[in-house]
Amino acid sequence: MSDSPNLPSGHEVIQAYLKTLDGSPGVYRMLNAKGEVLYVGKARNLKARVSNYARPSGHSLRIARMIFETVSMMFLTTRTETEALLLEQNLIKQLKPRYNVLLRDDKSFPNILIAKDHAFPQIKKHRGKKSEKGSYFGPFASAGSVNRTLNQLQKVFLLRNCSDSMFEGRSRPCLQFQIKRCSAPCVAKIDGPAYANLVADAERFLQGKTTDVQANLATEMNRASNEMEFERAAALRDRIKALTQVQQSQGINPAGVTEADVVALYLDQGQACVQVFFIRANQSWGNRDFYPKTGAGAEAPEIMEAFLAQFYDDKEPPRLVLLSHPVENEDLVGQLLSDRAGRKVELAVPRRGEKAELVENAARNARESLARRMSESSTQNKLLEGLADAFELDAPPRRIEVYDNAHISGSNAVGGMIVAGPEGFVKSQYRKFNIKSAAGANSDDFGMMKEVLTRRFERLLKEDPDRKSGTWPDLLLIDGGVGQVSAVASILSELGVEDVALIGVAKGEDRDAGKEVFHRRDAPPFALKMNDPVLYFIQRLRDEAHRWANGAHVAKRTKAVSITPLDDIPGVGSTRKRALLQHFGSAKAVARAGVPDLTAVEGISQSMAETIYNFLNP
């Protein structure tokens, strides 16, 4: 499409499309002169909705700006308005239009899983698709809240958290049994029926039936005391105490709300914060804050509709969603969530009682979170302005990429990239690069940096040559001096990338923090004052890159330790590998086994046994 500024735009262009539209439901896109999608919308009646944009007046400032920039439109009809809402949200996530409300940093939420594929079920944290057989409880707001709850539940119910392979390989109790967090079913310290009772108690507790569980434990403790089994009574007392701590840590535990998500929105100066509190089994399982992009000033009902449609895109909605503001097209959003849950989902804006108090609490948290974020954003913007002044950049950088390598004598070499900008560290954009070239084995830091940056910018040039996605950096920070800067400048020049600022951060005298020396292309090195906030800012960026690269290196090294020769055998996947290790105890024992011994393992046929034997005994 032409970039010419002389293309007609505005309500007259939109008016021309009305002749081709009818009353069908569907989705429309508004595009500017560069072919960029400005806005994606849905309509129960396309002609009626588009005719609103064709009016020359009566629009909010945001809509008026959008109409003024529009030079063309695209349309897709659907059978129902619900289909249009689904298609609209998919296109918004894919295209990220400037004037739409867009939910950013959306992540999956962890659950607690009591796995039921073993005689002695394991309790563990679970994230992602619910494909394992068992009972799921959640969502929890964060991994931290799950871990704290699991920690307390193990004290109360003594359920195992070890993997099945570790369970099968035990010959004596592990440390978890010694510190009274597991009943050690692996070595028959508890029988099947007694362990099943513990599992049932844990499930009742996670379903909110805490009174029954506590009453049963108290009865058992009194019985043990009366029978002078004081050690057992003390153990039961500790379990009751741990159970009380779990209940206290749940925070607000509403008596009249069994299952709900509390969604509260707060708007200030065109910025928005949405707080989501998770209520399950009459217990508060934590909260998470979100900062949706408001599409240049959308109103609360539109933000609420977009948030709910995008938030529950890959999550199962609860039976009740309590809202601080009414939502646009409440019946449509309610139908969409009900379809996703496979049952009725109710949307409500409570005005009094306990539910209103829950919403008020969430709204207060949203207000306070947004205030903190705006304060932090203001500080961050000042630091970015200071960075631009110190290094003579054309403007404060919107995206800084910081690179570092990690390895031990060339082994398990990994490159790390972190991203920072006006909103601080953008952790969803962090990347790690497994070093594939000989540079890693040779401990060649120059070679590793060349591989990482070549891969990074070749991909950028391929996926976003016009730099529209916001993933192109304004500034690169690398760990090193004049040699590293020269090498990286050469790499970028070979790729035709000449307009990205580059700074090398050298450790300086005695490698002390505060004595860093900075290197740039075609400029003499210089240092910043010891108490300069920009210096502290750069140190934080460098330390975060170092932490990220080291973490990736440790994870790679840990994974390498667990690799066995079984991983390379054709036809041996995770299930057969687990069965072999459980049967023989180790990969070395598998290698010593004969074909008849191998066929004794469940899932290993005669031909597979011969394949395994021939592979391990070439």
Residues 149 and 272 in one domain: no
Bridge pairing between strands 259-268 and 271-280: antiparallel
Cα–Cα distance, 593 to 601 (Å, whole number): 11
How far apart (Å, rounded) are the C-alpha atoms in residues 476 and 461? 16
Would you say residue 5 has pLDDT above 60?
no
pLDDT digits (tens, 9 = 90+) for 185-195: 999 999 999 99
Q: What SS3 state is found at 464?
A: coil
Which of 560, 585, 602 marks a domain boundary? 560
**Does the pLDDT at position 302 exceed 70?**
yes
Structure tokens at 534: 């920009």
In a domain, 1, yes or no: no
Q: CA-CA distance, 158 to 149, in Å (whole number)?
A: 13
Both 245 and 264 in a single domain? no
Given 350, 371, 392, the domain boundary residue is: 371
Count of alpha carbons within 13 angstroms of residue 465, beta-carbon side: 3
Asked which of 231-235, 258-262, 597-601 is least confident by mean pLDDT, the reply is 231-235
Residue 379 maps to a domain: no
Contact of 300 with 273, CB cutoff 8 Å: no
269 dihedral zone (left: phi>0; alpha: psi -120 to 50; beta): left
Mean pLDDT along residues 118-142: 89
Q: What is the mean pLDDT of the chain?
A: 86
d(CA 181, CA 201): 15
The answer for residues whose C-beta is within 8 angstroms of residue 595's C-beta and 6 or more apart is 606, 609, 610, 613
- Please give the sequence-ordered ranges of beta strands (E in DSSP) within 359-498, or none if there are none: 400-408, 411-421, 424-425, 431-434, 475-479
What backbone phi and psi angles, to 5 degrees, belong to 290? Answer: -130, 150
Residue 414 lies in a domain: yes
> Residue 3 has what pLDDT?
46
What CATH number does residue 587 fall under? 1.10.150.20
Q: Is the pLDDT of residue 260 over 70?
A: yes
Rg (CA), the chain: 30
Q: How many domains does the chain have?
A: 5
Report the pLDDT value the prediction gives residue 105, as an integer from 0 to 100: 64
pTM assigned to the model: 0.72
Instruction: Confirm whether 380 is domain-assigned.
Output: no
Nearest CA to 610 out of 602, 596, 582 is that of 596
Tell me, yes or no, whether 159 and 229 share the same domain: yes
Same domain, residue pair 572 and 600: yes
Task: Decide if 378 is inside a domain.
Answer: no
DSSP H or E segment with residue 136: strand 134-137
pLDDT at res. 262:
96
9 by Cβ neighbours in 10 Å (0-12 / 13-18 / 19+) ranks as: middle
Considering the domain architecture, whether residues 325 and 449 belong to the same structural domain is answered as no
Rounded distance between C-alpha atoms, residue 440 and residue 448, angstroms:
6
Domain boundary among 352, 371, 390: 371
Q: Residue 311 sits in a domain of what CATH number? A: 3.30.420.340
Claim to verify: residue 61 and residue 188 sit in the same structural domain: no
Asked if the model's pLDDT at residue 130 lies above 50, the reply is yes
User: Are both 271 and 355 inside the same structural domain?
Assistant: yes
One domain, residues 274 and 168: no
Residue type, 551: G
* Beta strand pairing call for 320-323 and 400-408: unpaired
Angle at 170 between CA 174 and CA 206, to 5 degrees: 60
194-246 pLDDT per residue, tens: 999 889 888 888 887 766 677 777 887 888 788 787 877 887 787 777 677 66
On whether the CB atoms of residues 141 and 278 are closer than 8 A, the answer is yes
* 473-488 average pLDDT score: 89
Residues 405 and 540 in one domain: yes
Provide the CATH number for the domain around residue 69: 3.40.1440.10
Both 428 and 553 in one domain: the answer is yes
322 shares a domain with 433: no
Helices (H), 162-252: 164-169, 175-178, 192-206, 210-226, 230-249
Domain that holds residue 601: 565-616
Say which residues have a Cβ less than 8 Å from residue 170's Cβ, sequence separation at least 6: 162, 186, 187
Instruction: Report if residue 125 sits inside a domain.
Output: yes
In a domain, 105, yes or no: no
Query: Same structural domain for residues 53 and 162?
Result: no
Q: Look at residue 265 and tell me if it is in a domain.
A: yes
SS3 431: strand
State which H helix or E strand residue 561 sits in: helix 533-561
Per-residue confidence (pLDDT) for residue 561, from 0 to 100: 57
b (16+ CB within 10 A) / e for 440-451:
beeebbbbbbbb
Angle formed at CA 382 by CA 378 and CA 386, multiple of 5 degrees? 170
